[in-house]
Amino acid sequence: MSLQFSEENIEDIIERPLPKIIKLKRHKSAHHDRIKKENEVLKKSRSTMGNAEEPLPEPNNFLKKHTRKELKKETDERKCWLSSCKPQLPSPASIWRKDEKNFLADNIKCAASSKSKYPAPKVVDSHKGNTTPLRRPSYVYKQSFGKAPAHIYRLKSAANQQDTSSCEQKMKMMSQGERSKLVEGLEKSLKDRNSEFLLLPVIIDTPYLINKKKKLESEIKQIESDLQMISSNFDIYITDD
């Protein structure tokens, strides 16, 4: 058996008073007194506001008998004029007529001629027998389902006719004056597009500038390809249109 000895301290035998907690002084603004005086002045200025001072009525102008305006009573003078104008009601005999239709016989015929209702088509989607309704789209039952539309055949026939007619049309060769005018117009438009492209800012970060740059680049490319095609081919044929 082991003995344990606790560490004793003589200083803990005599009880000492708890240390006093010294609180810091509360913050007080340098303008506290001035603002307090201003608020008192404002309160005093508002205290004078009240009901307006009105002169007292003269003693001769007191309320006398039969001097006030009397209000007339509202009288309900409306009359119902419908009783004299509306027609007479029909007799009960003319309303309650006996119908000759036999509803029982009609119901029996309808039940005999009606077809029996078949259960809705379902699909089993699990081995435990869970079913879901079979949903078929309505376009499956159309007669034109799986066939090419009629307008495609019409477009094909129209395109074939146009090709044959275009081949039969008379072609004529472009003259040298027309060719030079066309080249001059293309060169002028190319110069204008290049000047517009060079006027663009260096930093292009907005959607408007990006689209404008793409448009100018595509137009310049198209004009250059047209110029190359015209310059490489001296004999150019055009239609009468």
- Give strand ranges (E) for the chain: 122-124, 131-133, 171-173, 237-239
Give the model's pLDDT for residue 80: 63
Give the model's pLDDT for residue 98: 65
List the chain residues with pLDDT less than 70. Answer: 1-8, 46-50, 75-85, 96-99, 164-171, 239-241
Helices (H), 30-117: 32-47, 82-85, 92-95, 103-113
Give the model's pLDDT for residue 229: 86
Give the model's pLDDT for residue 115: 85
Report the C-alpha gap between 226 and 38 in whole angstroms: 86
Report the C-alpha gap between 115 and 227 in whole angstroms: 77
Q: Is the pTM of this model over 0.85?
A: no
On whether the CB atoms of residues 123 and 110 are closer than 8 A, the answer is: no
Give the model's pLDDT for residue 66: 80
